[in-house]
Amino acid sequence: MDFVWSLRNKVVREDYKLSMEELGRGVMRKFREHWMIMSQDSSCSSSPSSEDTHWVRPDNGVTKLNFDAAIVLNDSAVAVVARDWRGRLVFAVSSRVDTNIPVQAEAEAIRLAAITALKHNIPLAIFESDSKVCVQSLNSSILVVPWRIANVVTESKAIACLFAPPSLLDVIQEEASFVSLS
């Protein structure tokens, strides 16, 4: 998140000309760096193996949105990176959210991804999340949605209905859960 924020400040304050490819390469470099550090910590058993860390291309004509949340002291930052079926960066966006509760921040990341995809008129999209609770709440595959994310889940479902054809919400795998709006 610091990388994206630093680039944003350069663009705003120094009139820096940023290419989307540079942004995409930098974000991927930071993700690899993060997982390399996490894999060195033996207490972090959930870090993916090196063969699991590559980006998987969506079907032809589909845009894939990866998003996540980073928790800091009193609030969080959420970010969304969208790539088309060719692997080209479509957009990247980040936002500060007023919570330091991980499940709420993850839910806010899902909402930001859905709203941004709608604003960019993306007709077919796959939304990728690592928050199983949020994805299951969207899929209605859990009986009781955690109260902390109930409003965001309701709003995200309403946004999903605006995609044509009607949304299909699905959990593909446990490690990196996917929400598919297509």
pLDDT tens for each residue of 52-109 = 567 788 888 888 888 899 988 889 999 999 999 999 999 999 999 999 999 999 999 9
pLDDT tens for each residue of 16-26 = 887 888 877 88
3-class secondary structure per residue, 104-128: HHHHHHHHHHHHHHHHCCCCCEEEE
* CATH of segment(s) 55-181: 3.30.420.10
Strand 177-181, strand 63-71: pairing: unpaired
Strand 125-129, strand 89-97: pairing: unpaired
CA angle 55, 24, 20 (to 5 degrees): 135
Rounded to 5 degrees, φ, ψ at 165 are -65, 175
How high is the mean pLDDT of the chain?
A: 77
Domain positions in the chain: 1-54, 55-181
d(CA 65, CA 174): 17
Which pLDDT band holds residue 177 (cuts at 50, 70, 90)? very low
